[in-house]
């Protein structure tokens, strides 16, 4: 995941990222641009978020179950389980721009 450089024209609560890896393919492909709302840090189950987990920045679909959260990767056969307090929500993905657009 690559964070794009900020400049003075950006809206303060939004940040752009470039997807690295194929864990979220076909929903998000490597090289796709992600617009992330940094103010949306409450988990809405089933939505895609950028999170920090064990010092790694991850893009995943989150499924909330009281005090636990599943990090689902659309393109993978694996998932991660974590206690809510052990992940840091950076923001919710609100737009995906494919590299072919």
* Domains of the chain, start order: 2-97 (2.10.109.10)
Q: Which residue did the predictor score with more confidence, 4 or 21?
A: 21
Would you state the pLDDT for residue 75?
85
DSSP codes of every residue in 14-79 = EEEEE--SSTTTTTS-TT-EEEEETT--S--TT-EEEEEETTEEEEEEEEEETTEEEEE-TT-S-E
pTM: 0.87
Query: What pLDDT digit, counting tens, does each position of 24-77 carry?
Result: 999 999 999 999 999 999 999 999 999 999 999 999 999 999 999 999 999 877
């Amino acid at each position: 995941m690559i964070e794009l450089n900020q400049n003075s024209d950006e809206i303060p609560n939004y940040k752009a990222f470039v997807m690295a890896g194929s864990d979220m393919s076909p929903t998000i492909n490597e090289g796709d641009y992600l617009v992330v709302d940094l103010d949306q840090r409450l988990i809405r189950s089933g939505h895609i978020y950028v999170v920090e987990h064990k010092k790694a920045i991850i893009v995943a679909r989150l499924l909330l179950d009281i005090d636990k959260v599943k990090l689902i990767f659309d393109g993978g056969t694996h998932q991660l389980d974590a206690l809510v307090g052990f992940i840091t929500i950076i923001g919710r993905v609100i737009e995906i721009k494919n590299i072919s657009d």
